[in-house]
A and B are shown apart, each in its own frame.
Chain A
Amino acid sequence: MNEKPVKLIDKKGVRLDGRKAVDLRPIKLQVGVLSNADGSAYIEHGKNKILAAAFGPREMHPKHLALADRMVLRCRYHMAPFSVQERKSPAPSRREVELSKVIRESLEPALFLELYPRTGVDVFVEVLQADGGTRCASITAAALAIADAGVPMRDLVVACAAGKVDDTIVLDLHDEEDKLGAADVPVAYMPSLDAITLLQMDGILTPVEFQKAVDMAMCGCKKIYEMQKEALKTKYMVVRDIKEKDEVEE
């Protein structure tokens, strides 16, 4: 079915963007990028550029959505009209509605929902530029935004996809591989607790390939997790390093 003229991996096992099968795209993470949000984060994952903001816990609006025994997490995943080749209508598509739901469900296991009954946390994700794997990058950024808002968490949630391209299982598919490849398996993961909080797949994989893809995606997650922790700490380390250097010089 997927015999497209384009070869996505050459004979040496190098992909179109020069990566090997198990390589991640370059990732840049920044925390606390929006002053109005309680917490925020920005991610560049390959050519993906995504902003996430968290508000709350705060009173739920409308009020009837509040739950007496737990906090409510709401997520909105949204793509900017200019984020893709052909302009996307700003009205939420069915895909965006589904992704908002699965992103929310990937973050919920990380929260202590029972701690703050009757309140809500809102997470807004804006995809400014999309290049394959936006849901994963969105989760990685959203988890940072929630942590930055000071909402207690079991662990950071980090996400990464693996998939099958030209009969090879590869990590972190970019746009073309996603569209022309044989399968895509996005995984969200809480590394400290060894818990998978999002798992989707489309395409066809044998059970063995599927397992391999999940394992590979988890490995990718662990690498990004380190960057996530670093990004969160950096905000405070910067001040600290400068100060401590000053003190040494004195």
Chain B
Amino acid sequence: MSSLITKVRLKQISQCIESGKRLDERGLHDYRQIKIEQGVIEKAEGSARIYLGKTEVLVGVKVETGEPFPDTPNEGVQTVNAELVPLASPNFEPGPPDENSIELARIVDRGIRESHAIDTEKLCIEAGKKVFVVFVDVYVLNYDGNLIDASALAAMAALMNTKMPNYEVKDGELKTKQGFIKLPMKSHPITVTIGKINNQLIIDPQLEEEQVMDSRISIAVNEKGNICAVQKGGSGYFTPQQILEASKLAQGKAAELRKKLDW
């Protein structure tokens, strides 16, 4: 991920943040502009494209039938995969998923799973044998920082947009009926990522900020304001005080976004 950044620029970023501002004039705790389009891929059961500043992520949802996990025989299955597509950045290379895309997928997955966003119990067709499998594929199209929040938002938007064929079960067989039903959902988590630069906490780091930041922490918050997933990343650390601050920031920001997006 180490695209070279000049020392001058580095200093500029630090000074900017020191004075309570960002390179693009927003405040330390402001998101870039967010735009979400839903239903952009007709062939997918659900889809959404997000623009978070210049970061662009497309998420497609496919719903298929498959076997449940042995320890949850009457629950549907959720799987999240993320692709850092080479067209999104000069530093992304084709090939099997690397640790960055795996971590991204697992953070998005955890946010959805731990908040019980998808009502998986309603996705059971025949206990222990057949359930619906929800494939969430995160496709990064343009990388300008904070893929975690962008991907998590896009994934939720795509799931909320997902329509699956109306069906009924007869003698263990799946029969499709007329029309579509919505994917059953129970919760709408929002993930907020906070970066640390020179001991200052900033929200929604853009690419250049990511390159100078010590560490980051991503916190998924549900509609009750409870925390349902956390992941620290980067080769720096946080003090316990900063963790407390970050969790408060995340709750506030998640509530604000929730209102704006009307989730």
Contact = CB atoms under 8 A, between A and B. Distances in A.
Touching in the complex, A and B, CB below 8 A?
yes
B102 A98 contact: yes
A198 B232 contact: yes
B234 A199 contact: no
Nearest to A206: B226
Contact of A207 (B235, B239, B248): B248
B171 interface: no
A194 interface: yes
Given A196-B240, A202-B229, A98 B99 contact: yes
B251 interface: yes
| Most A Cβ at <10 Å: residue of B105, B217, B229, B232 | B232
Interface in B219-262: 222, 225-240, 243-244, 247-248, 251
A109 B102 contact: no
Contacts of B248: 207
Contacts of B226: 204-207
Given A101-B99, A200-B232, A194 B240 contact: yes
Given A98-B106, A105-B233, A200-B231, A207 B251 contact: yes
Interface residues of A, number: 36
Contacts of B247: 207, 210-211
Given A194-B240, A207-B248, A211-B244, A105 B102 contact: no
B243 A199 contact: yes
A29 B248 CA distance: 37
A204 B237 contact: no
A205 B226 CA distance: 6
A224 to B, nearest CB: 17
B21 interface: no
Contacts of B114: 202-204
A200 B110 CA distance: 10
B47 interface: no
Contacts of A204: 114-115, 222, 226-228
Contacts of B99: 97-98, 100-101
Contacts of B54: none
A192 B162 CA distance: 50
A123 to B, nearest CB: 14
A218 B240 CA distance: 9
A231 to B, nearest CB: 23
Contacts of A190: 237
B239 A196 contact: yes
A210 B228 CA distance: 10
Interface in A194-250: 194-207, 210-211, 214-215, 218
Contacts of B106: 94-95, 98
| Most A Cβ at <10 Å: residue of B105, B115, B227, B228 | B227
Contact of A195 (B113, B115, B227, B237): B237
B103 interface: yes
Contacts of B227: 201, 204-207, 210
Interface string A87-105: 0000000110110111011
Contacts of A6: none
Contacts of A198: 232
Nearest to A195: B237
Nearest to A198: B232
A105 B234 contact: yes
21 contacts: A94-B105, A94-B106, A98-B102, A98-B106, A100-B99, A102-B231, A105-B215, A190-B237, A195-B237, A200-B230, A200-B231, A200-B232, A202-B110, A202-B114, A203-B114, A204-B228, A205-B226, A205-B227, A206-B225, A206-B226, A215-B240
Given A108-B236, A195-B237, 4 more contacts: A97-B99, A190-B237, A194-B240, A211-B247
Closest 9 CB pairs of A and B: A108-B235, A201-B230, A195-B237, A199-B232, A109-B237, A101-B99, A202-B114, A197-B237, A97-B102
